[in-house]
Amino acid sequence: MSRIRLCRRSSCFLCPSSFTSPIQRPCFHRSSYIQPKSGLRLRHCSTTPMSRVRLHRRLLSSTSPPSPSWSPRDAFAAATERVRAGTLSRDDAHHMFDELFRQATPVPGRSLNGFLAALARATSSSACITDGPALALALFNRVCREQAGPRVVPLTVHTYSILMDCCCRARRPDLGLALFGCILRTGLKMDQITASTLLKCLCYANRTEEAVNVLLHRMSELGCVPNAFSYSIILKGLCGNSMSQRALDLFQMMAKQGGACSPNVVAYNTVIHGFFKEGETGKACSLFHEMKRQGVVPSVGTYNLIIDALCKARAMDKAELVLRHMTTNGAQPNTVTYSCMIHGYATLGRLKEAAKMFREMKKRGLIPDIVTCNSLMASLCKHGRSKEAAQFFDSMTAKGHKPDIVSYCTLLHGYASEGCFADMIGLFNSMKSNGIAADCRVFTILIDAYAKRGMVDDAMLIFTEMQQQGVSPNVVTYSTVISAFSRMGRLTDAMEKFNQMVARGIQPNTAVYRSIIQGFCKHGGLVKAKELVSEMINKGIPRPDIVFFSSVINSLCKDGRVMDAHDIFDLVTDIGERPDVITFNSLIDGYCLVGKMDKAFKILDAMEVVGVEPDIVTYSTLVDGYFKNGRINDGLTLFREMLCKGVKPDTITYNIILDGLFRSGRTVAARKKFHEMIESGTTVTVSTYGIILGGLCRNNCADEAIILFQKLGTMNVKFSITILNTMINAMYKVQRKEEAKELFVTISASGLLPNESTYGVMIINLLKDGAVEDANNMFSSMEKSGIVPGSRLLNRIIRMLLEKGEIAKAGNYLSKVDGKSISLEASTTSLMLSLFSREGKYREDMKLLPAKYNFFDRFG
């Protein structure tokens, strides 16, 4: 690729010698040559000022004869209109220039400039022009190439300005600066537009300080006077580089100069937006108020900036106020305004408000764009309402809004999250018929949906289909598949996919390594896990930290695999990681769960050796382990040691001790510990009261528990349903049946709902009292409230009815036993066998049972 000469120091505007003023200035020039970063390049054209473009006569001799009816002016005018209408293709443009080169007729500069300007601002279209600015530069290069030699294409300063703007839009501001150097070398007179385009090129090239210098000190030497537009370009450049405070300083300089430089609404909006982007909400709002004080009327864009920032900050009430203020002041909200509000409410899950805004938007005659629709759909899916999202999707399609790939991805993800696989596959199949090609994101959503539910083989079928359709999996797709295989212990398959992605040039990221290392850690491949950690280090990928390994250790300990967890702990130290208090606590908890208290205590000693201070969680875990393993005294001894070391017990610690003392029958010691808890200032929670009330009831202190319960009620303590269940049972136990029934009736009034345990307590106690009909009515009430009885409760009811000789009623409950969610317990079967066998007490009544239980008469 050829290089572009940007400056010849003797004539480049970037060097001091380009200016006639004797004042010494710093040289801003870049390297004399710049290698273009893309396919764009500019060819040198000498530029003798002329008003018309004439083609080199020598070229005509090598082309076909000119078309006598072809008019360059008309051709360029028609092409310009087609560019604006989005119907001109790249080939059309080149064909027009082919015809141009066959003509002897001069092309007016105005026509050429109009065409290039239209290309610079052309909207990208997959069917027509995909990059208008790049096409304009390519055509310019073509003209230069065809005219190489002593005769050259003359360009005006306006043409150069348009081409400089094209360079900025094509993200090649360096080429724009090269063109500006050509202007200076040819002596073309500068105008305000060219100077502003120069500032734009400098800002796009991240040479903002140089742009400020040109604006403040050198524009006058170029024959131009800065105006509000010039300043706005620099303000945008500064704010784009997170230099909003510097922009504000320049803004205040504008205000002092006044006249043509007085800040307008665009300048205000630019700086306000900059402050919002940098999180300087206070400064942005202050400038907004200053704007109104100076008599500059905020535009719809100004209000949109503020509303958008407030919505992103989740301050929806304030955003509503600004919206009302906006309409009061005569600024009409547009699609952007409502989109911001809808997205803000949708993000917070306030779907009613989002829907209200959507309706208000349509009432104003505004058509929601696809981004707004997708935002509302995403919120519905996020909150488990994919069916409603699908209805919205269908209505959106019916009203002429064509869903895009994001729409499909959103709804597919919603279905996947809720396990609606049939709907998910149906939507996927509909994409092709609706002209939407499934991309990598779509296939990854489907694969992830199956993989997360352990349906890895189904996921792999989609993975295969994806590649058959010519869609290449990316690192996220591979990460999903590898993670699924690793979770299931299919480490050979996981490594196969890992090696496959590497072979295809897709570099595994941290997520891929973490999932496969976790798989090897959990399934006994510690050597391989260590190899993978070393591989990460060698590749410069951040290795899994102690938080990751602590999570793995904790998971293994919860599963009772404490020895495997200890192996991971050793691996952590081998690779140079330092276990923290969470790691040690997880391992201690694991040993406590399997009853190996001596080993758990050794971990405590190891902590202190390596300088990790045990915290309250450490001691609470050990105390809980001692109590649950019946070593009450050891637990209390450790508790005292903890106090001596200055570790203050919290509510959880005291709850553990109180529960342990009550369960071991040490009621007096529990009472003392409770008073100690209060005196220490430790917070007493509802859970604490539940432990005490339950402990008193278990230790035959029901009357004391009832007194405490009533006292707490006068203190407006908010009880849980578990406590109320305990107290109802306690009242029945001490024959305070009416109080128990009254407490049951008042549950709803207290803002709680009876659960299965509540109804179970009532039914069992009614049956004990022989109130079979009342018990049946209570069971019916439970079913009507939507509570499904559990197998344990149903078996207990059946046994009690059988023991009372209520065979027919027991048969009704036996009919609810389905052998799936509810099945007969061994004790129930044993009782039925003894009652209905050949020598059983109720053998003759067996006909009252469901037919499937008639086989009992064969025994005995």
Q: What is the pLDDT of residues 295-331, one digit of tens each?
A: 888 899 989 999 999 888 888 998 989 899 888 888 8
Record the pTM: 0.60
Which segment of 30-34, 457-461, 623-627, 833-837 scores lowest on mean pLDDT? 30-34
Six-digit token pair at 843?
């053998």
Check if the beta carbon of residue 638 is closer than 8 Å to that of residue 654. no
How far apart, in whole angstroms, are the C-alpha atoms of residue 835 and residue 846? 9
Q: What was the pLDDT predicted at 215?
A: 83
Average pLDDT score, the chain: 82
Six-digit token pair at 623?
């105390």
Q: Please tell me what DSSP assigns to residue 216.
A: I
Check if the beta carbon of residue 153 is closer than 8 Å to that of residue 143. yes
How far apart, in whole angstroms, are the C-alpha atoms of residue 278 and residue 267? 17
Q: What was the pLDDT predicted at 528?
A: 85
Residue with the bigger pLDDT between 18 and 79: it is: 79
- The CA R_g of the chain, rounded to the nearest whole Å, is 40
Q: What was the pLDDT predicted at 151?
A: 33
Q: What is the pLDDT of residues 532-567, one digit of tens each?
A: 888 888 888 888 888 888 888 888 888 888 898 898
Q: Mind giving me the DSSP string for 719-756? A: --HHHHHHHHHHHHHTT-HHHHHHHHHTTGGGT----H
Q: Select, from the ranges 40-54, 278-292, 565-579, 727-741, the one with the highest average predicted confidence (pLDDT).
A: 727-741
Residue with the bigger pLDDT between 102 and 726: it is: 726
H or E element, residue 53:
strand 52-53
Q: Residue 178 phi/psi, 5° resolution? A: -65, -40
How far apart, in whole angstroms, are the C-alpha atoms of residue 53 and residue 51? 7
Q: What was the pLDDT predicted at 626?
A: 94
Check if the beta carbon of residue 336 is closer than 8 Å to that of residue 324. no
Binned at pLDDT 50, 70 and 90, residue 615 comes out as very high
Q: What was the pLDDT predicted at 82?
A: 86
Q: What was the pLDDT predicted at 372?
A: 82
Q: Which of 150, 91, 162 is nearest to 121 (CA)?
A: 162
